[in-house]
Amino acid sequence: MAINKSKTKDNIYASLRFSIAQDLRNVDLLESFVDFFKCGYVVRYEKRSIAEFVVTRIDDIINHVIPFFEEYNIAGSKYSNYCTFKIAAFMVKNKEHLKDDGLKEILLLKNKRGIATKNNNGDD
């Protein structure tokens, strides 16, 4: 989840991004996700030796990514992050992020998710 300031206007907006990063050696696996989920793309970061599968379109997140994780539950501390991401995704889908209250709620979810990530002890 990201809260960004518009480059052309004086307002802020919310955007969602689902991603999975792996060592560059596993780029074939990430590229298979594009076929499996029927959406997204792979970005290579040669200098950092990683690749990332990325989905940014809200319809793809709602129709492909979330149903997968509803069927195959996430275990461990990442489950809490997924739940807040899912709430934010449906808020964006329903255009609640375009209202001040909705944007504030997404910001709260983002901060809650950030706290969960900072407290992650790496055992997921």
- State the Cα–Cα distance between residues 46 and 79, nearest whole angstrom: 30
User: Domains in the chain, start-ordered, CATH in brackets?
Assistant: 59-124 (3.10.28.10)
Please determine, for residue 96, whether its predicted confidence score (pLDDT) is greater than 60: yes
- The widest CA-to-CA distance across the chain, in whole angstroms, is 43
Whether the CB-CB separation of 50 and 22 falls below 8 Å is answered with yes
| Spatial CB neighbours of 92, under 8 Å, sequence gap ≥ 6 | 14, 15, 16, 58, 106
pLDDT digits (tens, 9 = 90+) for 3-19: 555 554 557 777 789 99
pLDDT of residue 108: 85
- State the Cα–Cα distance between residues 64 and 118, nearest whole angstrom: 28
pLDDT of residue 9: 54
